[in-house]
Structure 1
Amino acid sequence: MTLSFFDQFMSPVFLGIPLMALALSLPWILFPTPTARWLNNRLLTLQGWFINRFTQQLLLPLNVGGHKWATILTSLMLFLITLNMLGLLPYTFTPTTQLSLNMGLAVPLWLATVIIGMRTQPTAALGHLLPEGTPVPLIPVLIIIETISLFIRPLALGVRLTANLTAGHLLIQLIATAAFVLLPLMPTVAILTSIVLFLLTLLEVAVAMIQAYVFVLLMSLYLQENV
């Protein structure tokens, strides 16, 4: 029996136990813990340099009030990159292909930025709903449109991450299946297909990192409007 291509996106279950919790807790085990020594090894030094550079780049456009989110945003970046990269390994599962998980990350963080804006600067936060200099007849229409666009933001965050990863994994599986089918029939075409598969895998590695960065970057831009 031929399984569906979308079976790879189903949440795995082992002995009736969902493995989603294991997949979500595994990334934190893979990162080495910094020590109190004066000098660390190369891996810890490289990890610390990457985290510092990313945090500086992320907090550059933010006000001082947004710097409190440095730990949350940097941890989210490392978490998403690790989940996306581990999902490219054979016989693994990518939790970020589940829309429920991505929405579970996007909605609370987006809602926190909105609540912070309403609490610290309510006039400026509500001012985003109505551009300056709007004609009076267009005020109700623009308020409705801006409100809808505000509530679409977390949906766009979750759907963007889910769609990009799902499309990439599905395309890899389609091309891999074509290569296996063509190998006994047309070996030359199968080799060319395998080369395309290798290049697509490299592209998917880049997409896994870029999508994690885009998710956190958009979240920082939403935070910038409210601090």
Structure 2
Amino acid sequence: MAWFLNPALTRFRNEVNARWPRRDKTSDGTIGDTAHQSTNSDHNPDRDGSVDAWDMDVDGVDIAACKRAFQAHEAAYYWIHNDRICFRDEGWRPRSYAYAGPNRNRHDKHVHWNSRQSHERSTKPWFTTEDDMTPAEFTAALTVALDDAGVKARLRSIPLTYPVTPTQSLLSKFVTAFDKIDLLAAAAAAERLSTPATAKEQADLLREVLGDRAKEVGLILAEG
């Protein structure tokens, strides 16, 4: 039986190619090589001949946009990139891939996308407009962005100004400052904390995400 990339991932690949027609495909991959075939790899075909994994070269594409689109799709199962793995079943919270062993592929030259067998024949589009994002999809996308060191560095460089009055409620302050990335970062950081979280845990995570602006944002969140 001839192998084939499953329909859901084929559509994902086609949409990526359409959006970034000049992207590098050197590190792209679907069917497993000899080394993969001797292991329980998702690059090996299923009984129906379908392959449920696609490796996408990282050059020439917007990785954050791809992760955002992938995580919002019904067929998505997990991705691996830069020695981090992220599962649907774990709320799309990236974690270390070190458990795969010292000789693991750290996936720094490509992103590994893996689909769910139950939805491998989905025909739903992967990329939608930003207006179509649900609150849950936005939170997932923001969590992905905050895991990027470059994004954190840019967040810390943004000056904080909040034109609010003392009589505004806390909710009003959030609405007024909604376009301030630092405040969004603080809110996303709160989502990543276990419940209940101690004051020290909250402070530590704010410092991790916001750097030297953590105290200022923390004071804003504490008002009201």
TM-score by length of 1: 0.25
Structure number with the bigger relative contact order (C-alpha 8 A, sep ≥ 6) is 1
More helix by share: 1
Larger radius of gyration: 1
More strand by share: 2
TM-score by length of 2: 0.25
